């Protein structure tokens, strides 16, 4: 079954197997966000960004509603629209460095290591708003290997919710966007995947607010299996 032929709304059960599943997504590639999807970095993100917010007299809830999923300089541009963007770029570099050094509380999203191991035979990569240093720091702190050829902040001209990163990831893998399934947690990331013409599985119950195709509480609820010339992603 090809990804084009399979329906994201299909319900299927397989008695007598290890799976009792409600939805199956045929795919030829998986594109994975990092923060909130593979790695739980909520503690450090909120700690550092709320300190930044306080230094600028910004409302904490407004800041937390903006920052997730975006590159830091874009979040700063939204939160402080009247200041020169060059200043956002400078402060974002400092923020990325601080985030890379502060790994207290950074842990694996449950099931992430097993999920990555199951994906190993199939085309997949990470598409993140973090830079390469931060990606490797957080994945390492979580005990996770970084899949080959990640798409990081340095490699795109526009941050999520722009689809550039996901489209670049699909091109690198040589897979049509419609044949890719994205794993994301944030509004900006889910919007980016939609704009790229990809199906989206939301990770974390909070992702349901952003209307992905399916939602899992964490990656322990995802199974990968061969399916024709691609693979099947089963969620329960």
- For position 1, what pLDDT does the model report? 35
pLDDT tens profile 119-141: 999 999 999 999 999 999 999 99
Q: Higher model confidence: residue 19 or residue 157?
A: 157
Show me where the domains of the chain are located.
23-40+105-235, 42-101
Catalytic residue among 35, 40, 185, 213: 35
- Tokens matching residue 106: 């950074």
Q: Would you call 145 a catalytic residue per the annotation?
A: no
- For position 26, what pLDDT does the model report? 97
Catalytic residue among 33, 162, 213, 227: 33
**From CA 200, how far away is CA 164, in angstroms rounded?**
16
Give buried/exposed letters for 179-200 (b at 16+ CB in 10 A, else e). Answer: bbbbbbbbbbbbbbbbbbebbb
- Tokens matching residue 182: 């994205």
Q: Higher model confidence: residue 74 or residue 4?
A: 74
- Give the position of tokens 């598409």: 127
Q: Would you call 35 a catalytic residue per the annotation?
A: yes
pLDDT tens profile 210-236: 999 999 999 999 999 999 999 999 999
- Tokens matching residue 97: 């460095």
Q: What is the 3 state secondary structure string of the chain?
A: CCCCCCCCCCCCCCCCCCCCCCEEEEECEEEECCECCCEECHHHHHHHHHHHHHHCCCCHHHHHHHHCCCCHHHHHHHHCCCCCHHHHHHHHHHHHHHHHHCCCCCEECCCHHHHHHHHCCCCEEEECCCCHHHHHHHHHHCCCCCCCCCECHHHCCCCCCCCHHHHHHHHHHCCCHHHEEEEECCHHHHHHHHHCCCEEEEECHHHHHHCCCEEECCHHHEEEEEECCEEEEEEC
- Class of the CATH-defined domain 23-40+105-235: alpha beta
In this prediction, residues 183-203 reach a mean pLDDT of: 97
In this prediction, residues 168-191 reach a mean pLDDT of: 97
- Tokens matching residue 154: 């340095």
**From CA 194, how far away is CA 47, in angstroms rounded?**
30
pLDDT tens profile 7-43: 434 444 444 444 445 799 999 999 999 999 999 999 9
- For position 69, what pLDDT does the model report? 82
């Amino acid at each position: 079954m090809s990804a084009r032929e399979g329906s994201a709304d299909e319900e299927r059960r397989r008695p007598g197997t290890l799976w009792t599943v409600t939805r199956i997504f045929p795919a030829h590639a998986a594109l994975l966000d990092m923060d909130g999807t593979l790695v739980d970095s909520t503690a450090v993100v909120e700690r550092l960004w709320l300190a930044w917010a306080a230094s600028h007299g910004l409302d904490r809830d407004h800041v937390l509603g903006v920052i997730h999923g975006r590159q830091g300089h874009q979040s700063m541009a939204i939160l402080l629209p009247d200041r020169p963007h060059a200043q956002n770029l400078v402060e974002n570099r400092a923020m990325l460095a601080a985030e890379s050094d502060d790994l207290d509380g950074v842990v694996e999203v449950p099931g992430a290591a097993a999920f990555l191991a199951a994906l190993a035979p199939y085309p997949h990569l990470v598409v993140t708003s973090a830079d390469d240093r931060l990606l490797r720091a957080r994945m390492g702190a979580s005990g996770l290997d970084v899949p080959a050829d990640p798409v990081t902040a340095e490699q795109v001209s526009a941050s999520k919710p722009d689809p550039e990163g996901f489209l670049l990831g699909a091109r690198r893998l040589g897979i049509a966007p419609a044949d890719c399934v994205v794993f994301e947690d944030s509004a900006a990331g889910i919007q980016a995947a939609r704009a790229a013409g990809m199906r989206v599985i939301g990770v974390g119950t909070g992702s349901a607010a952003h209307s992905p195709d399916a939602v899992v509480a964490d990656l322990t609820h995802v199974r990968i299996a061969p399916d024709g010339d691609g693979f099947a992603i089963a969620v329960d």
